[in-house]
Amino acid sequence: MEAFVNTEVTQGVATITFFHPQGNSLPGTILTKLAEEIERAGKDSLAGVIVLRSEGDKAFCGGASFDELVSIKDLEQGKKFFSGFASVINAIRKAPKFVIARVQGKAVGGGVGLISAADYALAVESASVKLSELAVGIGPFVVGPAVERKIGAAAFTQLTINAGEWQTASWAKEKGLYADVLKTAAEMDTAIATLASRLANSNPEAMSELKKIMWKGTEHWETLLTERAGISGKLVLSEFTRKAIEKFKNK
């Protein structure tokens, strides 16, 4: 299968699905399309709620595409790539509708950022998380504000520093990343369908106003996340980072 981003609107629920054959990783094209689809769903009068999910039954998201990272040749290109993550996070933040994340498997780096940006996330027991950026010589600069906002400074610091270790879905629930953890994907999908249906039939104006309140204090993210993208864009050009990424790719 080729990489894709697809949106379906059914009974008031806009379901945005992304896929990449390399563990649902996120190259720039997927990031751009995700931001566009989230923005479009936010404006769609037929959709009252957005569900964000990935295809398959394994990894939810493998984070930044290593192939694209090693192809970055200059600062401008690097900043543009990492700005893709900023665009998706800001699209979720600004959407006047609640975004529910369906997490059916492990999430790394930028994938943790997507989950953190979502307003509500449900996961299965195998949905461990890891912020691996420092291990490849960068750092979770762009996704950091979203992750820290969701789980707090202490847990964010733990994930960032202990970049080589997975944290369990139970840990993620305890820290507030997941609202709940279900035993099976079928149970998770039932719970998401029930919640999404309820929200799709709720007052859209009330939900829009609630979301503004919930995200109060993040208005500067439009600038902040772009600045952070510049930091990552610079670091990815270093010899240390390039060697670290190649090492990870060859594992």
pLDDT per position as a tens digit, 96-132 = 999 999 999 999 999 999 999 999 999 999 999 999 9
Give domain status of residue 126, yes or no. yes
Give domain status of residue 175, yes or no. yes
Give domain status of residue 76, yes or no. yes
Give domain status of residue 201, yes or no. no
Give domain status of residue 192, yes or no. no
As for how many domains the chain has, the answer is 1
Give domain status of residue 220, yes or no. no
User: In the block, which residue shows the tokens 């490849």?
Assistant: 136
In the prediction, which pLDDT does 91 show? 98
Q: What is the pLDDT of residues 214-226, one digit of tens each?
A: 999 999 999 999 9
What range does the domain containing 166 cover?
Answer: 4-186
- pTM of the shown model: 0.96
Give domain status of residue 120, yes or no. yes
Beta-bridge mates of residue 49: 13
Q: Are strands 13-19 and 49-54 parallel, antiparallel or unpaired?
A: parallel
The CATH number covering residue 122 comes to 3.90.226.10
Give which of 9, 91, 87 is closest to 44, Cα–Cα: 9
> What single-letter amino acid sits at 60?
F
Query: Residue 20 belongs to what H/E stretch?
Result: none
Give domain status of residue 199, yes or no. no
Produce one character per residue of 67-86: b if its CB has 16 or more CB atoms within 10 Å, e if not.
ebbeebeeeebbbebbbbbb
The 3-state DSSP class for residue 63 equals coil
